[in-house]
């Protein structure tokens, strides 16, 4: 799940009334294709717990969440949902809810505790994921596996800075990926290399709100680090896509790609040419940064090259060849999306480490209209019309089938079990966003193939700790009891109705 920086204007907290389509739209239960797949998603660090059990090594998140003073709301995920020890129960729960696809990530430091290409493998870690995959397959649930969901092995960060050393990271990530393909690929038909590289680059290596916490205040080079990290991710992704296509895909018959997150951006002032241009520019800086090299096999967008200059790394001729070779092998566009924002061009000079194109983001426009009603997170607004536009934007730019790999929201007051279970706000949000997918498919001609709700269960929400709850299953963090919310039942039933599946 994405973490947001504090980039909001004062209007976000000052506005006391609401007016937008997101407030007034009814859920219409629009149809979806019969073969449209639905499921739920999680990430290893957020749910597994068992932080040092059975030989698991530390990740940067194990370190970051224990820093003093705390940068994670005084909380960590040493136990979290204890999925590592309760996995059979969780698979049974998924089956009872009719979940068809389960997207989860592998903890790199659980299977290779020190992470490196010459480091020993942890057989108990491999056994856990083999058991999980076997149980999913036995219950008719398709596993979708993410190799990297933000948790670099701490040992690699200590050795060479992790993602900041492109050559070393590429080699270590390739060995890790090959191990996973070899161990699990006979049952896994869909792979994701990296989850949300934008977040790893900006929030972990510029804003410092995510592990390892690099920021200007910490004395790190925020002018260049984020772009070096992004460069490393792109080349590592490309290596692994080519490896999979050459060595594993012929026999395993699976697909591979990447997951990119992104908001849709509307102009702060629709009548302002500068703000209209700012909204378009923000889309390119956010999504085109990774989408253009991955899916078009070409250099970073020209707008980024022009603005960032020498801050943006160059692809060597042989690396450009690899990008071109890998581009058609990315079988789907994994889309993590939660909300829509307004973009406004700033008139004052940008900071020397600006990463937006000198653009301010807000949930309220120049007329005082909110982009949609707020969830329990102020930045996450109900704005299904923006979602439909984003689906169209991605399809028009890349023409790759889209899978919505994360989408969801936290509701206000979910610490109380009764309130959490009766999550009408979430049900409406999900219903509206599924309607938006239907319109994108049948009215706009966008190829959307599936939808994975975030998240299967309440969990550790990174630097926000255990505050916001995104799950369709409530977790009591003291007893670890799982209780399905009404949204879980809504999703089970709405997909039957929308796809015309008989009970």
The yes-or-no verdict on residue 300 having pLDDT over 60 is yes
For the stretch 445-479, pLDDT in tens is: 999 999 999 999 999 999 999 999 999 999 999 99
Question: With pLDDT > 70 as the criterion, what percentage of the chain qualifies?
Answer: 95
How many residues in the chain? Answer: 503
Q: How sure is the predictor about 222, in pLDDT bands with cuts at 50, 70 and 90?
A: very high
| Beta-carbon-side half-sphere exposure of residue 172 (alpha carbons within 13 Å) | 32
User: What is the pLDDT at residue 1?
Assistant: 55
Which one is predicted more confidently, 380 or 18?
380
- Give the mean model confidence (pLDDT) for residues 240-259: 98
Catalytic residue among 4, 48, 168, 196: 196
Tell me the per-residue pLDDT of 38-51, one tens digit each, with 9 for 90 and over: 999 999 999 999 99
Sorting pLDDT into bands at 50, 70 and 90, what band is 500? confident
Tell whether the model's pLDDT for residue 428 goes beyond 60.
yes
- Average pLDDT score over residue span 318-337: 98
Q: Tokens 């959307």 map to which residue?
A: 448
| Arithmetic mean of pLDDT over the chain | 95
Identify the pLDDT of residue 22: 60
Helices of type H across 139-222 = 154-160, 166-184, 197-205
- pLDDT (average), residues 7-26: 45
Mean pLDDT, residues 204-215 taken together: 98
Q: What is the mean pLDDT of residues 358-372?
A: 96
State the pLDDT at residue 19: 40
Query: 119-159: per-residue pLDDT in tens?
Result: 999 999 999 999 999 999 999 999 999 999 999 999 999 99
**Residues 363 and 374 sit within 8 Å (Cβ to Cβ):** yes
Write out the two tokens for 244: 């999979």
Query: What pLDDT, on a 0 to 100 scale, did the predictor assign at position 86?
Result: 98
pLDDT at 21 > cutoff 70: no
The residue written with tokens 């705390």 in the block is 70
Q: What is the pLDDT averaged over residues 375-387?
A: 97
The secondary structure of residue 444, as a DSSP letter, is: T
**Mean pLDDT on 349-371:** 96
Other CB atoms within 10 Å distance of the CB of residue 250: 8
What's the Cα-to-Cα distance from 161 to each of 80, 153, 204, rounded to whole Å?
A: 27, 11, 13
pLDDT band with cut points at 50, 70 and 90 for residue 2: very low
Please report which residue ranges of 244-383 form alpha helices under DSSP H.
249-252, 273-283, 289-291, 302-308, 317-326
Across 85-102, average pLDDT:
98
Question: For residues 331 and 415, which has the higher predicted lDDT (pLDDT)?
Answer: 331
How large a percentage of the chain has pLDDT more than 90? 94
Q: What is the mean pLDDT of residues 31-41?
A: 98
Percent helix / strand / coil, the chain, rounded to 5? 45, 15, 40
Q: Please tell me the distance from the alpha carbon of residue 414 to that of residue 38, in angstroms, as a whole number.
A: 24
Residue 223: band (very low, low, confident or very high) from pLDDT cuts 50, 70, 90: very high
406 is catalytic: yes
Tokens representing 73 are: 């709301």
Pairing of strands 101-105, 37-41: parallel
Q: Comparing 22-31, 230-239, 370-379, 426-435, which segment has the lowest mean pLDDT? A: 22-31
Confidence of residue 6 (pLDDT cuts 50, 70, 90): very low
Residue 367 annotated as catalytic: no
End-to-end CA distance of the chain: 32
What pLDDT does 15 receive? 29
Domains and CATH numbers, the chain: 11-499 (3.20.20.80)
Place of tokens 């937008």: 20
What is the per-residue pLDDT for 17?
A: 30
Spot the catalytic one: 4, 100, 385, 406. Answer: 406
Given a cut of 80, whether residue 389 has pLDDT beyond it is yes
Residue 502 has pLDDT above 60, yes or no: no
Measured between alpha carbons, how far is 334 from 133 in angstroms, rounded to an integer? 21
Residue 447's pLDDT is what? Answer: 98
What are 475's two structure tokens?
């977790």
Distance CA 124, CA 112 (A): 10
Residue 503 pLDDT exceeds 70? no
Q: How far is CA 466 from CA 79, 90, 476, in A?
A: 12, 19, 11
**DSSP letter at 55?**
G
Whether 501 has a pLDDT exceeding 80, the answer reads no
């Amino acid at each position: 799940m994405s973490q947001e920086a504090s980039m909001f204007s004062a209007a976000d907290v000052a506005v006391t009334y609401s007016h937008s389509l997101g407030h007034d739209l009814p859920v219409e239960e629009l149809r979806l294709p019969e073969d449209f797949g639905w499921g739920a998603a999680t990430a290893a660090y957020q749910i597994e717990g068992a932080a040092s059990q059975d030989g698991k090594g530390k990740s940067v998140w194990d370190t970051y969440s224990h820093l003093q003073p705390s940068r994670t709301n005084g909380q960590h995920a040493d136990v979290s949902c204890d999925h590592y020890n309760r996995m059979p129960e969780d698979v049974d729960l998924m089956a009872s809810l009719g979940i068809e696809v389960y997207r989860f990530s592998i903890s790199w430091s659980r299977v290779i505790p020190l992470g490196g290409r010459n480091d020993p493998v942890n057989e108990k870690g491999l056994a856990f994921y083999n058991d999980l995959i076997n149980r999913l397959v036995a219950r008719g649930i398709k596993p979708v596996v993410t190799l990297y969901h933000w948790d670099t092995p701490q040992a690699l960060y200590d050795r060479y800075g992790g993602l900041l050393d492109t050559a070393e990271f590429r080699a270590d990530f390739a060995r890790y990926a090959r191990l996973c393909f070899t161990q699990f690929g006979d049952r896994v038909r869909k792979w994701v290399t990296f989850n949300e590289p934008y977040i790893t680059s900006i929030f972990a290596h510029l804003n410092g709100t995510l592990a390892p916490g690099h920021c200007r205040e910490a004395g790190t080079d925020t002018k260049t680090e984020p772009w070096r990290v992004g460069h490393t991710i792109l080349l590592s992704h490309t290596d692994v896509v080519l490896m999979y296509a050459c060595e594993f895909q012929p026999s395993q018959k699976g697909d591979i790609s990447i997951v990119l997150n992104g908001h849709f951006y509307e102009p702060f002032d629709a009548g302002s040419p500068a703000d209209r241009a700012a909204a378009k520019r923000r889309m390119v800086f956010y999504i085109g940064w990774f989408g253009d090299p991955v899916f078009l096999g070409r250099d970073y967008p020209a707008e980024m090259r022009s603005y960032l200059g020498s801050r943006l790394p160059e692809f060597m001729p042989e690396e450009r060849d690899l990008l071109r070779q890998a581009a058609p092998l990315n079988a789907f566009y994994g889309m993590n999306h939660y909300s829509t924002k307004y973009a406004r061009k700033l008139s004052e000079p940008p900071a020397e480490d600006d990463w937006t194109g000198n653009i301010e983001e807000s949930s309220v426009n120049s007329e005082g209209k909110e982009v949609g009603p707020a969830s329990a997170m102020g930045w996450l607004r109900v704005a299904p019309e923006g979602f439909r536009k984003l689906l169209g934007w991605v399809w028009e730019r890349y023409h790759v089938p889209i899978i919505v790999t994360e989408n969801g929201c936290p509701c206000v007051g979910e610490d109380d079990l009764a309130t959490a279970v009766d999550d009408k706000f979430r049900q409406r949000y999900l219903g509206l966003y599924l309607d938006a997918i239907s319109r994108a498919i049948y009215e706009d001609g966008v190829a959307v193939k599936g939808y994975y709700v975030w998240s299967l269960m309440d969990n550790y929400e990174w630097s926000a700790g255990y505050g916001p709850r995104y799950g369709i299953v409530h977790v009591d963090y003291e007893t670890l009891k799982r209780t399905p919310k009404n949204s879980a039942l809504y999703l089970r039933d709405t997909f039957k109705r929308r796809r015309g599946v008989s009970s």
